[in-house]
């Protein structure tokens, strides 16, 4: 089963290596990984996608929670949430196929962010499936290069992924 997990961590040297080591030590592949600072520069949010059965992922979640520098772990499979990726795609777009490429991009609500005589650079956001479908349509037209972010995720509604420090401030 596919799991999207977010981990709030202290922004310290070596935290990512320890988390990756925990996964590799258990024989799990990380399919997607994104890391960035939160609004608090001392805290980063790491979002990863992996596959495994619920029991093993529960064990990994417990072990992540035991790691020093880990503040909070959330497996989004247990909550309603939104997931998105960003992709930059360079596709051949000459005189003969520019119209077709433009229509496909429009259907997927993408944006052309750079134009050259022979190519378009496209920006698109969406689910992994949406980006995959766009790539399948563009492939016969000549994809030249792809750069994709990993998955990012957030709870729907008012549920937040907060730090213990945030919780204390709300009570005060």
The pLDDT tens digits for 19-76 are 999 988 888 889 999 999 999 999 999 999 999 888 888 888 899 999 989 999 999 9
Average pLDDT for residues 147-169, to the nearest whole number? 78
Domain match, 118 and 129 both: yes
pLDDT of residue 171: 37
pLDDT category at 168 given cuts 50, 70, 90 is very low
- pTM score, whole prediction: 0.82
Domain match, 17 and 33 both: yes
Domain match, 15 and 56 both: yes
Q: Which of 53, 79, 105 is the last residue of a domain?
A: 79
- Decide: 159 and 82 in contact? Cβ < 8 Å: no
Report which of residues 129 and 28 the model is more confident about.
129
Asked if residue 9 belongs to a domain, the reply is: yes
pLDDT of residue 169: 47
pLDDT tens for each residue of 81-113: 999 999 999 999 999 999 999 999 999 999 999
Using the structure block, give the residue that is written with the tokens 């992924």: 161
For 155, counting Cβ atoms within 10 Å of its Cβ (0-12 exposed, 13-18 middle, 19+ buried), the class is: middle
Q: Which of 79, 108, 135 is the last residue of a domain?
A: 79
pLDDT tens for each residue of 41-51: 999 999 999 99
For 25, the domain range is: 2-79
Domain match, 36 and 91 both: no
Q: What is the DSSP string of 40-87?
A: STTEEEEEEEEE--HHHHHHHHHHHHHSTTEEEEEEGGGS-EEEEEEE
């Amino acid at each position: 089963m596919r799991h999207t997990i977010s981990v709030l961590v202290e922004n310290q040297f070596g935290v990512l290596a320890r988390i990756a080591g925990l996964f590799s030590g258990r024989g799990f592949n990380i399919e997607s990984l994104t890391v960035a600072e939160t609004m608090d520069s001392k805290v980063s949010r790491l979002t990863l996608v992996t596959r495994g059965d619920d029991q093993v992922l529960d064990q990994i979640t417990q072990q992540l929670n035991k790691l020093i520098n880990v503040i909070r772990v959330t497996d989004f499979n247990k909550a309603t949430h939104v997931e998105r990726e960003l992709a930059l795609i360079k596709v051949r777009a000459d005189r003969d196929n520019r119209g077709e490429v433009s229509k496909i991009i429009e259907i997927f609500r993408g944006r052309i962010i750079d134009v050259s005589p022979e190519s378009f650079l496209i920006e698109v956001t969406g689910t992994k499936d949406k980006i995959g479908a766009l790539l399948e349509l563009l492939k016969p037209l000549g994809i030249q290069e792809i750069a994709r972010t990993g998955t990012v995720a957030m709870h729907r509604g008012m549920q937040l992924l907060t730090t213990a420090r945030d919780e204390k401030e709300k009570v005060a």
